[in-house]
Amino acid sequence: MKHPSSRAFFAYWDKQRDGAPAPDRSAIEPDALRSLLGDVFVVSCDATGYPFRFAGTRLNALLGRELKGEKLTTQFVLDQRLAVQQVLDVVAGDTVAVVAGIIATAPTASPVALELLLLPFAPRPHTPLSMTGLLAPLGGRVLGPLSSLRLTSWRTIGQQPRRLAPRKLRKLQVVGGLTVYEGSR
pLDDT digits (tens, 9 = 90+) for 42-69: 999 988 999 999 999 999 999 999 999 9
Q: Which helix (H) or strand (E) holds 84?
A: helix 81-94
Count of structural domains, the chain: 1
101's enclosing H/E stretch is strand 97-105
* Least confident piece of the model among 18-22, 79-83, 136-140, 174-178: 174-178
Distance, in Å, from the CA atom of 74 to the CA atom of 65, rounded to the nearest integer, reads 13
- How far is 3 from 157, CA to CA, in rounded Å? 14
pLDDT in tens, 149-161: 999 999 999 765 5
Within the chain, strands assigned E span 40-44, 52-55, 97-105, 111-120, 130-137, 147-157, 168-175, 178-184
**Alpha helix ranges (H) inside 30-178:** 57-63, 81-94
65 close to 120: Cβ distance less than 8 angstroms: no
DSSP lists the bridge partners of residue 111 as 105
CATH of the domain at 75: 3.30.450.20
Q: Residue type at 43? A: V
The whole-number average pLDDT for the span 11-22 is 92
Query: Which of 70-79, 94-103, 123-132, 162-171 has the least mean pLDDT?
Result: 162-171
Cα–Cα distance for residue pair 20/17, rounded to 1 Å: 5
Give the pLDDT of residue 165.
Answer: 53
- Full domain range(s) for residue 65: 4-184
Q: Whole-angstrom Cα distance, residue 148 to residue 53?
A: 22
Q: Is the pTM of this model over 0.75?
A: yes
Res 179: pLDDT: 61
